[in-house]
Chains A and B, each alone.
Chain A
Amino acid sequence: MTTKIQVEHLARVEGHGGITVELDGSAVTAVRFDIFEGARLLEGLVRGRSYEDISQILSRICAICSVAHSLTSLKATEAALEVKVSPQTDLLRDLLYRGESIQSHALHLFCLALPDYLNYPSVTALAGDHLDAVTLGLRMKKLGNSIQETLGGRAVHPVNAVLGGFGKLPSTDQLIALREGLLQGMVDTETAIELLASLPAADFCHSETVFAALRSPGQHGYYLGDEIIVRSNGLRRSVPAAEYRSLTNERAVPGSHAKHSALNGRPLMVGALARLSINREGLSAGAAAALERLGLTLPSDNPMDNNKAQAVELVHDVERALATVERLLEEGLNEERCVPVPPRAGTGTAATEAPRGLLIHSYTYDDAGRIVAADVITPTALNAASIEDHLRRTVEQSPDQDVAALTKKLEMIARAYDPCISCSVHLLQRHHAA
């Protein structure tokens, strides 16, 4: 007997996608993580545009990751044009990136994922019975946004981070306000970890997973670094960012969108859980304690642990952001101008860690600084094969085949990846074509 389990429109995620699983008896015959976003063709539309316009256009790939896209774009253009920014700019970009991560993780954990664990359809329904949890989540989300507003000029599609530096540096008053918010954040993240530690276990899919993340040894950061690490069960491979294509040489598999990645032909998982598996030694003291409190063992074989990993990063980012702001207040900011960025021909590739995982922008410019080719590889596109793999295993490992119960598990697995479907559309469609 053939059965079809379908989630026509996956709710509580960014963008438009669905899940289809087909079974013949108890054998899974097809798994699809479908993408319904229209193709905006932005990589094609930017051709011929000036290097000065690119980050503003390509940040529009995705709102929740707009800081990630902007900063990765700036990093790629600066690499192509052989410009080096100041250490202060690197530090402020790191802080801005952490602001996005705090906002994004708080949104995902409290507004999108938490309703699943407590059996509510939405965060607003959840607020009826668990107002404290919702206001806690919203306060942390707002903290992330206040960092983005202070450094980026606004919370979505930042404008203040530009080639060579920043338009306007934050004032002392702004930094003092951020410090106040972050001190409250230290208390809030502690409460958040207790709350998340009390949730029922989500334990219905296990598989040895291949993780990939940007190496960030001392800081567990998102912005700096040029080396991608792929690891699985003792195997470890280093890939320079400029050779990112060796990670994404996918090919289609009949009945699935599964891409075959570079490590032993198995799909890659990127995101918070991958980052913790690769950069654990850089965690702050509070984050290391949160990891223990949540009972998260690394490397994990349970994709639902990505939620716990995001919670650990929430603690880590608040702590690191506070340390940065305190340092800036103590040492003061250099009133430096942006480094001039004259046009020239060149190719540059940048890898960073968006909230949902590894993000790559790669550009080639001509002599006049016009873009000749742009390639963007997003975390959800990298994760697509792994999502399908884990959806398949969820069905295979379920003791019974009750459709309603299975559907909920499938949705929770897809949601645990915090998929960003606006982002993923490019590679997936190319992948369909393979």
Chain B
Amino acid sequence: MGKPTVGLFGLTGCAGDQLVILNCEDQLLDLVGALDIRDFLMASSDNDVQCDLDLALVEGAVLSKRDEEKLIRIRQRSKALMAVGTCAVWGGVAAMDRALDRAKLLRDIYGEQGAQYDSLPARALHEVVKVDLNLAGCPIEKEQFLSAVSNLLNGDPPILPEYPVCAECRMREYNCLLIEKGQVCCGPLTLAGCGARCPGLGIPCVGCRGPADDANVASALTMFGEKGIPREAIAAKLRTFAPMSGDRS
């Protein structure tokens, strides 16, 4: 079997996940050697924009008609599509407070002509097309990306955590910022994979990796309540990187 054909794409975002890939300095040349990268606009001016792809890696959120059309086209030409980064997986920072009046925001920031921009409320990829794999993180973790790609190259599914940051934090025996200091830490509800980086630095988790499937929400809410942290405070934090289920697009 030949090398898998791969495309790397960015919709609207900060390009941070593509940057993390380019930051794999020690593995970059092996990585591009193991893959047949056909389309990677951020790194190459010679791209095949038509060919079929075994795997499309897509970062960023859908924020315009242009993004939407581009994503649909990427989906059509790809056997598998991986959402890369919190914007692609959840909508990211642009999706916070999706219930706000977007037309008004456009007017406030860009003046009257803002209404004419190609601008849609932020959506995650799965709200537009079928997504086969999710790699969350704002930005993604280098090691997780490399391990996911290695697994895929071996024909295995990537192994990604479903438990919360809290579990990683305890395994590393960091001091609990929530219980010991009463700080608003999103660790109990946020997807692991970062090695509890922020709590390890004495900084509360801001939830940049989006919600964890395996989180014990009831217990976390009780814990926040016991610490006198209002539900709205934790909701505002969590909403920063992933829209709450109540915030419709």
In this assembly, does B37 line the interface, its C-beta being within 8 Å of a C-beta of chain A? yes
Q: Is A430 an interface residue (CB 8 A)?
A: yes
Known: A167-B202, A429-B117. A124 touches B25 (CB 8 A): no
B85-144 residues with Cβ-Cβ distance < 8 A to A are 92-94, 96-97, 100, 102, 105-106, 108-114, 117-120, 122, 138-139
Q: Which residues of B contact A433 (CB under 8 A)?
A: 110-114
- Asked if A182 CB lies within 8 Å of chain B CBs, one says no
Tell me whether B111 and A430 are in contact (CB under 8 A).
yes
Option from B45, B93, B201 in Cβ contact (under 8 Å) with A40 = B93
Interface string of A117-156 (1 = CB under 8 A from B): 0000111110100000011001101100100000001111
Separation in Å of the B43 CB from the closest CB of chain A?
A: 5
Contacts of A107 in B (CB 8 A): 22
Find residues 48-91 in chain B having any chain A CB closer than 8 Å to their own CB: 61-64, 66-67
- What residues on A are CB-neighbors of B112 within 8 Å? 433
Give bound CA distance, A145 to B28, whole Å.
15
B15, B44, B100, B139: the one within 8 Å of A121 (CB): B44
Bound CA–CA A123/B47 (angstroms):
13
Q: Which of A112, A155, A159 is packed against the most chain B CB atoms within 10 Å?
A: A159
Chain B residues with Cβ below 8 Å from A45 are 93-94, 96-97, 100, 105
Residue numbers in A under 8 Å from B109 (CB-CB): 39, 41, 43-44, 426, 430
Select one of B63, B93, B237 contacting A60, CB under 8 A: B93
B contact residues, total (Cβ < 8 Å): 66
Taken together as a complex, chains A and B put the C-alpha atoms of A121 and B201 apart, in Å, by 41
Contact residues on A (Cβ < 8 Å of other chain), bracket: 35 or more
B218 within 8 A of A: no
Contact across chains for A142 and B93 when beta carbons are under 8 A apart: no
Is the C-beta of B23 less than 8 angstroms from some C-beta in chain A? Answer: yes
> Within the complex, what minimum Cβ distance (angstroms) separates A340 from chain B?
14
**Interchain CB contact under 8 A, A111 and B22:** yes
Q: Is A36 touching B66 in the complex (CB atoms < 8 A)?
A: yes
Contact A40 to B44, CB < 8 A, known contacts A45-B93, A60-B14: no
| A residues in contact with B13, CB < 8 Å | 422
Interface string of B14-46 (1 = CB under 8 A from A): 111101101101101100100001001111111
With A45-B93, A45-B96, A63-B14 already in contact, the answer to whether A157 and B138 are too (CB < 8 A) is yes
Contact status B44-A41, CB under 8 Å = no
- Determine if A11 and B47 form an interchain contact, defined as CB atoms under 8 angstroms apart: yes
- Chain B contacts of A286 at CB under 8 A? none
Q: How far is the CB of A157 from chain B (nearest CB, A)?
A: 6
Residue A410 CB within 8 A of the other chain: no
**A225 in the interface, Cβ–Cβ < 8 Å?**
no
Q: Is the CB of A66 within 8 A of B16?
A: yes
A162 to B93, CA, bound (A): 19
B25 x A145 contact (CB < 8 A): yes
Q: Is the CB of B96 within 8 A of A154?
A: no
Q: Bound state CA distance, A62 and B139, in angstroms?
A: 11
Q: Which residues of A are found within 8 Å of B23, using beta-carbon distances?
A: 103, 141-142, 145, 155-156
Please state if B122 and A40 are interface contacts (CB–CB under 8 Å): yes
Stretch in A12-20, A172-180, A199-207, A269-277 with 4+ CB within 8 Å of B? A12-20
Check: B190 CB closer than 8 A to any chain A CB.
Answer: no
* A41→B110 CA distance, assembly (Å): 9
| Additional 15 contacts, C-beta under 8 A, given A41-B106, A429-B110 | A39-B114, A45-B96, A53-B206, A56-B206, A57-B96, A60-B14, A60-B92, A111-B22, A121-B45, A134-B29, A138-B25, A157-B139, A167-B203, A422-B15, A433-B111
Measured CB to CB, the residues of B under 8 A from A are: 10-17, 19-20, 22-23, 25-26, 28-29, 32, 37, 40-47, 61-64, 66-67, 92-94, 96-97, 100, 102, 105-106, 108-114, 117-120, 122, 138-139, 197-198, 200-203, 206, 208, 236-237, 240
A-B contact pairs, 27 of them (CB 8 A): A11-B42, A14-B19, A38-B66, A38-B119, A39-B106, A39-B110, A40-B93, A41-B109, A43-B109, A53-B237, A56-B206, A57-B240, A60-B93, A62-B15, A111-B22, A115-B45, A121-B45, A141-B25, A142-B23, A145-B25, A156-B139, A159-B198, A159-B203, A411-B45, A429-B110, A429-B117, A430-B111
